[in-house]
Amino acid sequence: MHPKTRKILYKLRLRKVFSGVFVKATKGVIDMLQKVEAWSHVTYGYPNLKSVKDLVYKKGYARGDKKADPLTDNNIIEQVLTESTVEVPNSTLS
């Protein structure tokens, strides 16, 4: 991989294969994505709620009591967030 391509991927926090990040779509970020698109397997676009939900439930883990529990439903998220005294409305997560 070309050093400039690697540097751009590191700036975008894409340091491992099969990793993903959410970034704000600014002109600079879009320019960087267009530069690395031809030389690496990077796809980008605007996420919708269904795809984000599917991704979080498929790959997401919550760290509660020093162990990582896979996210299967909102109960795990609510348990972890209530321990840190953050109030999350149910409509946000469902």
> Structural domain boundaries of the chain?
3-37, 49-93
Which of the 8 DSSP states describes residue 47? -
| Backbone phi, psi, residue 84, to 5° | -100, 15
Q: Dig out the tokens for 23 from the structure.
A: 């970034």
pLDDT, residue 92, reads 53
pTM for the structure as a whole: 0.58
Q: Rounded distance, CA 32 to CA 91, Å? A: 35
| pLDDT tens per residue, range 12-71 | 898 888 888 888 889 999 999 988 887 778 888 888 889 888 888 887 777 767 777 777
